[in-house]
Amino acid sequence: MTEQLVKQTLDKFKQRKAERTNLNQLWEEIAEVLAPERCGFMNTSSYKNRNDARIYDTQPIIAKRGLVNAISGMLRPKSTSGGKWFDIVPAYREELLDDVEVKGWIDNAENTLWQQMYNPTAGFIEATGEVDDDLVTFGTGLGYVGLRPDMSGLMYKAFHLNKVYLDVDGLNEVVGVFVAEQYSPRQAAMLFGEENLGAKTKERLRQTNKKARDDKSEYIWCVSQRFEFDPMSRSNTDMAYSSIVIDVDSEHVIEESGYEEMPFFIPRWDTRSNEAFGRGVGTLALPSVLTLNQMGKTMLRALHRAVDPPWLLPSDSMVNAPQLRPGGVSYYDAKAIRNLGLSKPFQQMDSAAQIPWGLNAQQAERESIMQLFFKNVLSLPIGGPTMTATEVLERRESFVREVGSLLGGLEKSYTSVLTERSFNILLRKGAFGPLEEIPDVLQGEDITFRFASPVEKAKRQIEEAGVSMAMDKVLQIGQIKPEIMDRFNFDEYAKFIAKSNDFPHELIKPDAMVEQEAQMKAMQMQQEKKMQTMQQMAPMIGQLTAGGGGAPRGAPPEDEAESDEQVAQLAQAVGGALGG
């Protein structure tokens, strides 16, 4: 069974590797002009050595860096409240957030998740930065989320695409990942344990020949979806995703385990049917980038000639071929001075280079490349002093149309995957506290993540602007017909405005607190009303008290009855005023 598993895995890996031959050539060409540090897709170059000999203009690299930073800032904006760019919410019962106990547990979970992700030892910033760069440059990025070897916290790692091969299903969803690594026998022993290595690797490890011990061989790590598994099993070899590490040289399974969810996050910029890897902006911009670099090379030679032009010198004995390089010297027969009517025997060649034309062409190409990298789009429109509210709204709507679909796809395949994977790891590890401490109303509830982004904020502000304009018209009608205002819930309207403008949650009172304060205010008003009534009744009570509380002695029986009736009425009025 193991031999069959090894053969099937290696056969599939070789097939995926062969399918990517042409793509490797394209990526190598892109890397040479946009990301020299990522070269290494072909055997002729090494990613360990920068290969920037073809770069004559750095504007495309600057444009790419701007887009990478913009994507990072929009997917994970640090300008949000508390710096967090995600909120944990119940998937189907968001009203549970009004429960104080639920809100407290979720706030604690958010803070714990944030601290674990941005722990310097986790490598989150470095890994996501590398993935962002690959995503823009090549169209695909790949990162891993797991626990650190000492199990003390989360670990994030990005992989160079020259090591990664993907397996997709009929819907073009990634269902398998192959990672090819090169290790020496000693490195493999330290990583996996000597007892787990294959026979050939153990033999090389024990040899006295240093070269045999240091020569690296290939190891394949394959993570793929398992379609038959027991969800109730606690064994890591019976989980939703299988994981095996194979020593290719020995054709031996070194390690076999599993994952409850895909441990990789694999954002892809733009994909076509039956394409495992995405197409990035670097692919689209490559022709323009190559053209601009050729322009830069030509302009550099022209400027060099203009600053240090070739010389023409007479020679009585020898004539050489024209030297047109900058500072070159070309000799000509001295008789030519007389024959050609030259006034100066020593003179510089006139290159007649149209340098202004070349500079204009370069600038036009640079602007085209900046547009390819969304420089004119990925700037959130902000209202200026000369812009009306309608113009600001129109610019925001244009921004959402241009960028909304792009960021929506990246949130699904990128931020959502890595955040949910991180949360699930910490939940199983007990980082949020014992499972028994989860509020009862949350037990069995699905949770989801709501991400902050300029696009979502722009969408909310567009919606809020439309509602506000409608409310202005309602207020105008309310001046004519005040009772129409009873149809609108202004408490919810205020909450809607606060949410649309990212108003800090800690500055908004929960509904329970608002209701409690309203009850206390009503009780206080009732007490004040009682006190006011008592003050109004005090003179009357004083008169009755001074009169002995009834009719004078010796008064007729009918007067005594009338006096008793007045006292009873007064007592009833006082009791009613006091609520009793």
440, part of any domain? no
Q: Looking at the 3D structure of the chain, how many domains does it have?
A: 2
Residue 407's H or E segment, with its range, is: helix 389-410
311, part of any domain? yes
Nearest CA to 32 among 56, 8, 11, 66?
56
CA distances to 34, 298, 300, 528 from 307, in Å: 30, 14, 11, 93
Q: According to the model, what pLDDT value does residue 158 have?
A: 96
Nearest CA to 235 among 264, 260, 263?
260
Question: Contact, 358 vs 371, CB < 8 A?
Answer: no
Q: According to the model, what pLDDT value does residue 310 have?
A: 66
The whole-angstrom separation of Cα 510 and Cα 287 is: 56
Nearest CA to 262 among 168, 191, 170, 151?
168
The pair of structure tokens assigned to 293 is 């670099």
Question: Contact, 307 vs 162, CB < 8 A?
Answer: no
Question: Which amino acid, residue 147?
Answer: L
Q: Which of 368, 398, 420 is the last residue of a domain?
A: 368
The pair of structure tokens assigned to 149 is 């070897």
Contacts of 282 (CB under 8 A, 6+ apart): 30, 34, 35, 64, 136, 137, 138, 139
570, part of any domain? yes
Q: According to the model, what pLDDT value does residue 512 have?
A: 74
Q: What per-residue string of b and e applies to 343-377 under the rule 16 or more CB within 10 Å gives b?
A: eeeeeeeebebeeeebeebbeebbeebbebbbbee
250, part of any domain? no
408, part of any domain? no
Q: According to the model, what pLDDT value does residue 317 have?
A: 45
The pair of structure tokens assigned to 453 is 């982004």
The whole-angstrom separation of Cα 186 and Cα 206 is: 10
Three-class SS of residue 304?
helix
The pair of structure tokens assigned to 561 is 């009855």
The pairing of beta strand 329-333 with beta strand 311-315: parallel
Q: According to the model, what pLDDT value does residue 375 have?
A: 77
CA distances to 73, 116, 123, 153, 486 from 119, in Å: 19, 5, 7, 9, 51
32, part of any domain? no
Which 3-state string (H, E, C) describes 433-465?
CCHHHCCHHHCCCCEEEEECCHHHHHHHHHHHH
524, part of any domain? yes
Length of the chain (residues): 580
Q: According to the model, what pLDDT value does residue 303 have?
A: 75
Question: Contact, 70 vs 403, CB < 8 A?
Answer: no
Contacts of 294 (CB under 8 A, 6+ apart): 56
Q: According to the model, what pLDDT value does residue 268 have?
A: 94
Question: Which amino acid, residue 202?
Answer: K
Q: Which of 368, 383, 406 is the last residue of a domain?
A: 368
The whole-angstrom separation of Cα 186 and Cα 449 is: 43
Q: Which of 313, 334, 368 is the last residue of a domain?
A: 368
Contacts of 107 (CB under 8 A, 6+ apart): none
DSSP annotation of 231 reads T
Three-class SS of residue 48?
coil
334, part of any domain? yes
The whole-angstrom separation of Cα 527 and Cα 579 is: 10
Q: Which domain holds residue 551?
A: 512-577
Three-class SS of residue 146?
strand
10-residue block means of pLDDT along the chain (580 residues)?
Answer: 86 93 93 91 60 83 90 77 80 84 90 93 94 95 93 93 92 92 91 91 87 88 85 76 93 92 94 87 92 86 71 54 59 61 58 72 87 71 56 64 75 92 94 88 88 72 78 86 84 78 69 81 84 74 58 52 59 57
Three-class SS of residue 293?
helix
Q: What is the pTM of this model?
A: 0.74
CA distances to 223, 506, 508, 543 from 517, in Å: 56, 17, 14, 40
User: What are the E-state strand segments in 191-310?
Assistant: 217-225, 241-247, 252-259, 264-265
Q: According to the model, what pLDDT value does residue 327 have?
A: 56
The pair of structure tokens assigned to 416 is 């959502």
